[in-house]
Amino acid sequence: MEITARVTNVITAIHFTEGNHLERGDPIVELENSEARANQAAAEAKLIESRGQYERSRELLRTNAVSTSNVEQLRAVMRADEAALAAAESRLRDHMVRAPFAGEVGLRRISTGALVSPGTVITTLDNLDTVLLDFDVPETHLSGIAAGQTLTAGGAAYPDVEFTGVVETVDTRVDPVSRAVTVRARLPNTERLLRPGMFMTVRVLRESAPLLLVPEQALVPRQARQYLFVVRDGVAHEVRVQAGRRAPGHVEITEGVSEGDIIVVEGTQHLRNGTPVEVRPWFPAVAQ
């Protein structure tokens, strides 16, 4: 993360050492704040005055020396002065740049006396306990990616080290140009080997699951539906099935038939529902 200032001013003090660990809230640099301090003091003095007037009016209200409307008006002025003081204190705090989270601070990009403004990089701060790894997956493999999956990653800097992590989230949109979706994973980095910006090669470990596959030629398409002829008691029965993913020469069947069912692979164009058949083993041709 790049650390910048919220206001434009001159740096008067630097409170960090390059490469050190900072806790959340630790000061990084201090900006010239004399004007901000003066504004805070003025707002505080104004609040003290309005608060005193309001307290006195409450005492006078008990003797009917002032009206209720006057008391409410003084109360509103006091509330406005409280808000003005809070704003002045906030502007004063903006002159001290602090670490937004715990992490390792990077190289110093500024010096004492330099004029900085919002967008000027002062230094970098990174939490290296864990690192986020973003990588793209083609949309054709989107169904095989989900949060919680384990992955391994390797980089050129450490060719013999394999880092293991977990998929944290999958982006909600597919890039219209690359037709890929961005996946974000989290990798433990207890040894501080990984650095933000490193290039890594990722391998996602998909959970294996049994598939019911049939030869593609066994499918009988009819009016956007798929059927198989299942042999039971020597008779062909036409069964509607639900096809899933496809592989060269085979189709996954998700509904309609079960493991162990005998299906007709060749000659389905000559079959009708209820046709007697003779079961013969089917051996796919193998190229020599």
User: What residue type is 234 in one-letter code?
Assistant: G
Separation of alpha carbons 213 and 143, rounded Å: 18
pLDDT above 80 (res 285)? no
- What does the pLDDT read at residue 283? 59
Separation of alpha carbons 113 and 12, rounded Å: 6
Range with the poorest average pLDDT among 7-16, 94-103, 212-221: 212-221
Q: What share of the chain in percent tops pLDDT 90? A: 50
In terms of pTM, does the model score above 0.85? no
pLDDT digits (tens, 9 = 90+) for 15-69: 999 989 999 999 999 999 999 999 999 999 999 999 999 988 988 877 877 788 8
- The mean predicted confidence, pLDDT, of the chain is 89
* CA distances for 127 relative to 165, 186, 194, angstroms: 16, 12, 11
Work out the burial of residue 218: count CB atoms within 10 Å of its CB; fewer than 13 is exposed, 13-18 middle, 19 or more buried.
Answer: buried
pLDDT above 50 (res 279)? yes
- What does the pLDDT read at residue 209? 63
- What does the pLDDT read at residue 8? 94
User: What residue type is 164 in one-letter code?
Assistant: T
- What does the pLDDT read at residue 133? 92
User: 140: how many CB neighbours lie within 10 A of its CB?
Assistant: 9
Helices (H), 213-283: none
* CA distances for 74 relative to 45, 57, 87, 144, 197, angstroms: 16, 8, 20, 66, 57
pLDDT digits (tens, 9 = 90+) for 136-145: 988 888 878 8
All domains in the chain, ordered by first residue: 2-125 (2.40.50.100), 128-205 (2.40.30.170), 213-270 (2.40.420.20)
pLDDT above 50 (res 287)? no
The contacts of residue 82 (CB under 8 Å, 6+ apart) are 47
